[in-house]
């Protein structure tokens, strides 16, 4: 579904992404791991069209990343998701529904279903200024799910959630995965990655150090944390 072809991103003399090439299959749950400054967020921004490659190409189902046609297939949740404080959660989702081409009673129906899925029924008319970080994340995930995306790109989706909230989000993502959806997950919670993802790539210094199915890169009595540390320790990283 997604192809990164020798992707390079430079900011002046700083090489943030350094020749990344990999494919992500349709229906795959893919985790992108690495220390702060490894290039993960930059790579995700390139995929979403928020920034442009210095060299190389990114393709989503045959279409260049960043084009409106390819964006229609994508739902996105940023780590620092923000809702304008003067909007209610319902108003926020209705705006996103309009971006997805949903209007009137159809939009209200979809928004109502999403509110139930993310556990925000009863809080949808509160202003966002009254929301906790976890509530804001739930609404952000709801916005990402509007429009029935084929691909979810998630940057720390369980940030700010308590264990029950993390369980609920995991259940939503597992349901999306079973429906044939593709997930790209950027997370520091390795236990969540192990529960949800099929494939892992570990980045450091702008490059993918290792990529493969969890069952192939974790050996014997190792944990994913052991593999992560082995590929990033004693290597100087930089801030993105």
Count of domains for the chain: 2
- Burial zone of 5 (CB within 10 Å; 0-12 exposed, 13-18 middle, 19+ buried): middle
Render pLDDT for 16-29 as a digit per residue (tens, 0 to 9). Answer: 999 999 999 999 99
* Residue 43 vs residue 158, higher pLDDT: 43
pLDDT in tens, 80-117: 788 999 999 999 999 999 988 888 899 999 999 999 98
- Determine, yes or no, domain membership for 111: yes
**Residue-level pLDDT at 240:** 34
> So what's the pLDDT on residue 59?
94
Do both 183 and 103 map to the same domain? Answer: no
Whether 40 is in a domain gets the answer yes
* Residue 69 sits in the same domain as residue 155: yes
In angstroms, the CA 9 to CA 237 distance is: 16
- Examine residue 9 and state whether it is found in any structural domain, yes or no: no
Q: How far apart are CA 139 and CA 145, in angstroms?
A: 10
* CATH assignment of the domain containing 39: 3.40.50.300
φ/ψ of residue 148, rounded to 5 = 50, 60
- Provide the pLDDT confidence category of residue 47 given band limits of 50, 70 and 90: very high
Q: Is residue 103 part of a domain?
A: yes
Which residues constitute the domain of residue 177? Answer: 25-51+64-73+150-240
Q: Who wins on pLDDT, 32 or 232? A: 32
Instruction: Convert the pLDDT of each residue in 183-233 to its tens digit.
Output: 999 888 888 888 889 899 999 999 999 999 988 888 888 888 888 888 887
Same domain, 107 and 44: no
Q: Is 1 a residue whose pLDDT tops 90?
A: no
Do residues 69 and 47 share a domain? yes
pLDDT of 65 over the 50 cut: yes
Residues 205 and 129 in one domain: no
What pLDDT is stored for residue 239 in this prediction?
34
**pLDDT value at position 237?**
39
Dump pLDDT digits (tens) for 125-177: 999 999 988 888 889 999 999 988 999 999 888 877 788 878 888 888 888 99
**Quick count: other Cβ atoms within 10 Å of Cβ 218?**
17
Question: pTM of this prediction?
Answer: 0.87
């Amino acid at each position: 579904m997604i192809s990164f072809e020798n992707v390079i991103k430079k900011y002046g003399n700083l090489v943030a992404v350094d020749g990344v090439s990999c494919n992500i299959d349709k229906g795959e749950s893919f985790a992108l791991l690495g220390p702060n400054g490894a290039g993960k967020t930059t790579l995700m921004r390139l995929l979403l069209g928020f920034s442009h490659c210095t060299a190389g190409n990114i393709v989503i189902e045959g279409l260049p990343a960043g084009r409106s046609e390819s964006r229609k297939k994508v739902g996105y949740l940023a780590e620092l998701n923000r809702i304008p404080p003067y909007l209610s959660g319902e108003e926020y989702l209705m705006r996103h529904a309009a971006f997805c081409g949903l209007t009137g009673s159809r939009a209200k129906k979809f928004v109502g279903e999403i509110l139930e899925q993310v556990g925000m029924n009863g809080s949808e008319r509160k202003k966002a200024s009254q929301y906790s970080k976890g509530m804001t994340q739930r609404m952000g995930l709801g916005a990402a799910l509007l429009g029935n995306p084929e691909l979810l790109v998630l940057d720390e989706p369980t940030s700010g959630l308590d264990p029950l909230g993390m369980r609920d989000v995991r259940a939503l993502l597992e349901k999306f995965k079973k429906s044939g959806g593709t997930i790209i997950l950027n997370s520091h919670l390795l236990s969540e990655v192990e529960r949800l993802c099929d494939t892992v790539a570990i980045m450091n210094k702008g490059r993918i150090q290792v990529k493969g199915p969890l069952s192939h890169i974790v050996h014997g009595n190792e944990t994913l944390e052991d593999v992560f540390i082995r590929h990033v320790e004693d290597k100087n990283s930089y801030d993105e």
